[in-house]
Amino acid sequence: MFDVILKNGRVFDGSGNPWKKLDIGIRDEKIAFLGDLSNEQALQIIDCNGMAVSPGFIDPHVHSDLLATKPEIHKIKALQGVTTELFGQDGISVAPVSEETKPLWQKQLNGLNGDIGEWPWNSITEYLTFLKDSKMIGNAAYLVPHGAVRTLVMGFEGRTSTQEEMNRMRELVEEGMRQGAVGISSGLVYPPNVFSNKEELIELCKGAAKYDGCFVVHIRNESIHSLTALDEVIDVARQTGIRLHISHFKVIGHKNRAKFKRALEKMEEARSEGIEITFDQYPYNAASTVFHAILPPWMHSGGTDEMLARLQNPEDRKRISVDLKNNTDYENWVLNCGWNNITISSVQTEKNKHLEGKNMLEVAEITNKMPDDAALDLLLEEKGSVTMVIHWGYEEEVMLAMSHPLQMVGSDGIFGGKPHPRLYGTFPRVLGKYVREEGTLTLEQAIRQMTSAPAQLMRLKNRGLIREGYQADIVVFDPEKIEDCASFEEPLLEPKGIIDVLINGKLTVHNGEYIGTRAGQVIKAQHHPKSNFVESI
């Protein structure tokens, strides 16, 4: 007797192999049998005739670190087939913290990760236990965030670290790895990571590499200096032996288009050198992040409170305006993309809700201000808790990267307000638009890049493939009907074509509806120096 039998489906096992026709028997959270089960019994039998059956999708870049505990908000991930997510991204996340740094990060992350009230944790162990006790819908793994570690050692100070400080940070990374993280992350455009140099990255990555962790990184520049920024992290991997993964790979701005193919070539060259490098990508030519990312790095020294104080200083505001128009030394979204391509996606106060969905030229007109002043005033009024969508690039480049074997599908979804449609549409969009309609990649390729490829990055031993003994994270979808419905105008529309989703053997989405199941697990790596295995708690 099985708990569930999925019968008559076309099974895409996640390896990239062609589909095969077989039944799947599930018992005690796991795939217990693959083959002909026509004469077997189960508590529930689901006929998958005409449907594709694949491993649950694994999202390697998310910002669900807090709102995964709110099923009424987080259910959209399961509704698009995502069964596992990798938290702790961009070097800016929620653990480890101390009683001194916790308030800094609560303010810093409010616009990005949302607000769930008090954080009843300091260490990574305590945070992962909190997630486990919250009974999440889906599974979660965690990366040690560079910024959280840095603030424990030197706060939000806008300077490079000393060797002693680097050593202490490396020790904290090692501690985080021992507590269950699968790697380390950094976002080198975000404070306080932006103040680090390559030497600091090398030291921190030594700590993660010691436990066979990966380095997941938003590189220092994705526009004018994107190739130099890519060289920096490739050299970090070269010097430490760490596995390197580039977050939301892209090249921003028309004048930088020639750099896109060269960046792909650089990654291929690194692989030929023996460096394990991969990247993730969302299927849109627009990005989304915190609005204060438009500011030059010097504005972020000291954290949110000091940033807000500078926004009130007339001389600092003049300096900001000059930087926004001329400074190419940092990731200058305004200079690279223009105010017309920057749209406000979420704010915290009711006063400014009417600005959500408006680009900054429209905001300037509504507020009767110059765009610079409108932007700085909005940041001040919202205490920094604003997110934006930026239209940066070209469809041809999205498709080129998507068809590359080093690619993984990652949403980088941010909750709140009028978000980027990637939050609701990423995985169905790839399968509908780019597989069925455009033929950019085959269904087998797309499923591999959503399943076994990210599982390999995270070194998951029992997820990402349909194999006997693996956890029963499974998606059933209609390849002829699957599509994203979310748009920039209406980003909260749920996708179509995802029929059933099982997470750890429990039916979670049935007939396209979330049915209230909360069977998610915390995937906690159990490390030994130079080797590891991964288990769920």
pLDDT in tens, the chain (537 residues): 999 999 999 999 999 999 999 999 999 999 999 999 999 999 999 999 999 999 999 999 999 999 999 999 999 999 999 999 999 999 999 999 999 999 999 999 998 999 999 999 999 999 999 999 999 999 999 999 999 999 999 999 999 999 999 999 999 999 999 999 999 999 999 999 999 999 999 999 999 999 999 999 999 999 999 999 999 999 999 999 999 999 999 999 888 989 999 999 999 999 999 999 999 999 999 989 999 999 999 999 988 999 999 999 999 999 999 999 999 999 999 998 999 999 999 999 999 999 999 999 999 999 999 999 999 999 999 999 999 999 988 899 999 999 999 999 999 999 999 999 999 999 999 999 999 999 999 999 999 999 999 999 999 999 999 999 999 999 999 999 999 999 999 999 999 999 999 999 999 999 999 999 999 999 999 777 765 445 544
- C-beta separation of 407 from 61 below 8 A: no
Say whether the peptide bond before residue 529 is cis (omega within 30 degrees of 0): no
Q: Are 265 and 249 in contact (CB under 8 A)?
A: no
For residue 107, what are the contacts with CB-CB under 8 A and spacing of at least 6?
303, 304, 305, 383, 384
Burial letters 269-305, b for 16+ CB under 10 A, else e: ebeeeebbbbbbbbbbebbbbbbbbbbbbebbbbbbe
Dihedral sign computed on CA atoms, order 322, 328, 332, 335: positive
**Residue 534 has what pLDDT?**
52
Neighbouring CB atoms inside 10 A of 244's CB total 23
CA dist., res. 32 & res. 461, Å (int): 16
Separation CA 187–CA 113 (nearest Å): 15
Which pLDDT score, from 0 to 100, does residue 423 have?
97
Task: Name the 3-class secondary structure at 150.
Answer: helix
Q: Are 76 and 494 in contact (CB under 8 A)?
A: yes
Four-residue CA torsion sign, 265, 266, 269, 274? negative
Q: pLDDT at position 103, please?
A: 95
The pLDDT value given to residue 394: 86
What per-residue confidence (pLDDT) applies to 533?
A: 45
Contacts of 338 (CB under 8 A, 6+ apart): none
pLDDT at residue 530, rounded to an integer: 63
Distance, CA of 172 to chain centre: 23
Q: Kindly give the pairing relationship between strand 20-21 and strand 10-11.
A: antiparallel
Q: Are 243 and 215 in contact (CB under 8 A)?
A: yes
| pLDDT value, residue 254 | 80
- pTM of this structure: 0.92
- What's the pLDDT at 253? 84
Condensed to tens digits (0 to 9), the pLDDT of residues 165-201 reads 999 999 999 999 999 999 999 999 999 999 999 999 9
Amino acid identity at 430 = V
